[in-house]
Structure 1
Amino acid sequence: MKKTTLIRSVCMVGMAFVFSCSSNESPERETPIRATPEAFAQLKSTSLGNKVQNFQLDASQTGFFTTENGVFFTINGNCLSKNGNPVTGMVDVQIVELFERGAMLTTNKPTMGTLPNGDKALLISGGEFFLNITQDGESVDEDCDMVATIPSDITGGADTGMTLWKGNGGDQDCDGIDDDCDGFVWDQNVDPNGDPIEAEIQDGDGGERFYVAPFGDFGWTNVDRFFSDPRPKTTILVEVPEGFNDENSRVYLSYVGEPNALAYLDTYDATTGLFSEHYGQIPIGLECHVIFTSKENGQWLYGIKSVTITDGQTVEIADTDLNTANESELEALINGLP
């Protein structure tokens, strides 16, 4: 009897040891699946759709809408027209607001602005906004300026250097919420004299400060200034795993200390397999994070590398650097970077 009990005890201990060992071992991750361009585009489109805020406006009135982050929109319904005729009845208003780099990444709306010479450089954002108005699913026109009044404390306080920008997709249409805009860049709004239109700073009754952004077109509007750094600049290259390219993946740069900005590498060489920021605008000595994104099994596939920029640097992203996360997890991770 005692012998039987002893044998059972030894067996149970042995089984527990085997279970403990196997449960503590982390199985090696399989090689990530290469997404199709269509699947990756759908992932970005879904993220953007998740951020739409819906309102309604009586076209005979002026509408006042406050977003989830406290941005105040003023829209004159009497200025709406459709096929050249004044709009009557109710219309649907769609608004998207992006302030942090995590949401800028998942919606593919980085803060890269066009320089006077046509090159692109990083913008520091006071807020990115999409606005569209439809009636019965048909687009309407706006014949007056709309106004967004934006609390500046969302992005760290008022900055007197902010100007207004319009989202531009190059040869792609970026005015609709479902438009695929992989060539997205910001162009500065200018007055009839060609001078940049400044974002006026307005003081509130309680001492708070706001950016006032008038804009006359539906689509994407931004309050920005160019990132400034006196250090010498360089171009960097990023090598991604074989099977990924500019159709099924993207590479972004998050600058340390700039939570309201997101750069991206907008060129890809199919021969070398390298992404590049080919304008030479990245400061040498800059601390940043190189962020690779794609899709795998319905989730975001990502890799993040912390780097300090050196002259002519090449950064490698390998399969072993990649992990998966859902939309909110990835945004929190990106927002949490220093």
Structure 2
Amino acid sequence: MKKLNFATALLVAVIGFTACKKERTRPVSSVKNAKDFTEKLGSPKQTFSVKTSELPKTLSLANGTRITIQPNSFTMDGHAVTGDVTIEAYEMLTRSAIILSGTNTNHISGSPLISQGFIFVDAKVDGKSVDRMLQKPLTIKIPAKGQPFTQIWEGVENVADNNQFAWAAPGDAAGQNQQRDVKAVEDDFVFDFGKLGWVNCDIFYNSSAPKTTVRVTVLNNPGTMATFRGFSGETFVFFCATGDNVVAQIYTPDGANKVKSYDNSMPIGSVGKLIAFSIKDGKYYFAKKDITITADMNESLSLTESTEATVQAEITALDL
């Protein structure tokens, strides 16, 4: 009996020690930096396999975007592509998707745009991207969500040679006259686009108001300012306008832990929320402040340590 009691007590002690050890062990996050963050929580990649012999073909994306590919659209180094093609696409149709993906609604001039949704489209053969210029345009249909009118833009990935991102008027492709102004039809924006890459439906935000430069100091910044999609750096700063889907990233260097908007680009009187967040060495930091833009504005945000779930929830709460 004593041997049994001793064995039982020993077993209970071992189980208890193991349980306590498990409780004290926290799961290790796979997110170590801003790039990991955008890959995990940003817009997911959607992949489709198509055969050139099956074209034309319409692809339906998860959030309502539809892309129709015409026959004889793709070339590789100038030569016609035949056989199997892999289409990769991303949708950024909400404010949270834009921010979590490390993207923005900045015009190339720095003026904020109101996003009505944007996408990224690529086509690959054996893992290599085909020529960006298409021989026949894609027909793209993006949900208008009640908006009557939009303009078409293309993304520029290396603004001012500093690996930042903005939107510009698209040039013509392969002899095609690129459409710019689009009216909604049955609550969809439908248009042709002659290139692969970033495609946006946006209009200018509050363009009649006088403009100013907004400067932001990030206090307690654990890292450096992040570039497009977090490919380098750790810290993002955004202005999100109240009532409009504006995601203006403030990224122009202005000193240590300081960034500014493009000069004289932010509308005076605009109301919204200024946010900053950072991911460094697996730790999360966040700050926010309600602001009204004034002339020659200087603001500061003080980052405090947070969690992945809290940062994600704060950003998701910005959706309109």
When normalised by structure 2's length, the TM-score is 0.76
Matches of 1:140 and 1:282 in 2, distance apart? 38
Identity over aligned residues, as a percent? 26
Q: Assess if the C-alpha contact under 8 Å between 1:164 and 1:188 holds in 2.
A: yes
Which residue of structure 1 lines up, in the alignment, with residue 84 of structure 2? 90
Aligned CA distance change for structure 1 residues 266 and 319 (closer, same or farther; 3 Å):
closer
Aligned CA distance change for structure 1 residues 137 and 191 (closer, same or farther; 3 Å):
closer
Which residue of structure 2 lines up, in the alignment, with residue 125 of structure 1? 115
| Aligned AA (2:91) | E
| Aligned AA (2:277) | T
Q: How does 1:271-290 map to 2 (within 5 A)?
A: 271=256, 273-290=257-274
Q: Does 1:134 align with 2:124?
A: yes
Q: Which residue of 80, 83, 99 corresponds with 1:105?
A: 99
Which residue of structure 2 lines up, in the alignment, with residue 245 of structure 1? 224
Matches of 2:315 and 2:136 in 1, distance apart? 37
Q: How does 1:30-45 map to 2 (within 5 A)?
A: 39-45=33-39
Q: Does 1:55 align with 2:48?
A: yes
- Deviation at 1:284? 2.7
Aligned CA distance change for structure 1 residues 279 and 86 (closer, same or farther; 3 Å):
same
Aligned CA distance change for structure 1 residues 197 and 190 (closer, same or farther; 3 Å):
farther
The answer to which structure has the higher strand fraction is: 2
Matches of 1:149 and 1:237 in 2, distance apart? 37
Q: Does 1:197 align with 2:179?
A: yes
Q: Does 1:233 align with 2:211?
A: yes
Aligned CA distance change for structure 1 residues 300 and 197 (closer, same or farther; 3 Å):
farther
- Larger mean CA deviation between 296-305 and 130-139 belongs to 296-305
Q: Assess if the C-alpha contact under 8 Å between 1:199 and 1:213 holds in 2.
A: no
Local SS of the residue matching 1:78: coil
Q: Which residue of 268, 291, 314 corresponds with 2:275?
A: 291
Which residue of structure 2 lines up, in the alignment, with residue 71 of structure 1? 65
Task: Give the number of aligned pairs.
Answer: 275
Local SS of the residue matching 2:112: strand
Which residue of structure 2 lines up, in the alignment, with residue 216 of structure 1? 194
- Deviation at 1:139? 1.8
Matches of 1:84 and 1:197 in 2, distance apart? 24
Which residue of structure 2 lines up, in the alignment, with residue 168 of structure 1? 156
Which residue of structure 1 lines up, in the alignment, with residue 144 of structure 2? 152
Which structure 1 residue ranges, 5 or more long, are not aligned?
A: 1-37, 174-180
Aligned CA distance change for structure 1 residues 331 and 197 (closer, same or farther; 3 Å):
farther
Local SS of the residue matching 2:33: helix
Q: Assess if the C-alpha contact under 8 Å between 1:168 and 1:184 holds in 2.
A: yes
Q: Assess if the C-alpha contact under 8 Å between 2:87 and 2:123 holds in 1.
A: yes
Which structure 2 residue ranges, 5 or more long, are not aligned?
A: 1-31, 226-232
Q: Does 1:186 align with 2:153?
A: no
Matches of 1:158 and 1:64 in 2, distance apart? 24
Q: How does 1:314-329 map to 2 (within 5 A)?
A: 314-320=298-304, 322-326=305-309
| Aligned AA (1:289) | K
Q: Assess if the C-alpha contact under 8 Å between 2:217 and 2:258 holds in 1.
A: yes
Aligned CA distance change for structure 1 residues 170 and 294 (closer, same or farther; 3 Å):
same
Matches of 1:238 and 1:85 in 2, distance apart? 49
- Deviation at 1:140? 1.9
| Aligned AA (1:276) | K
Local SS of the residue matching 2:34: helix
- 1:265-292: CA deviation from partner (whole Å, max 9, x where unpaired): 1212235x32111422223332211111
- Larger mean CA deviation between 59-68 and 275-284 belongs to 275-284
- 1:26-45: CA deviation from partner (whole Å, max 9, x where unpaired): xxxxxxxxxxxx93233334
Q: Does 1:254 align with 2:240?
A: yes
Q: Does 1:305 align with 2:289?
A: yes
- Deviation at 1:296? 4.1
When normalised by structure 1's length, the TM-score is 0.73
- Deviation at 1:299? 5.8
| Aligned AA (2:126) | D
- Larger mean CA deviation between 63-72 and 228-237 belongs to 228-237
Which residue of structure 2 lines up, in the alignment, with residue 13 of structure 1? none
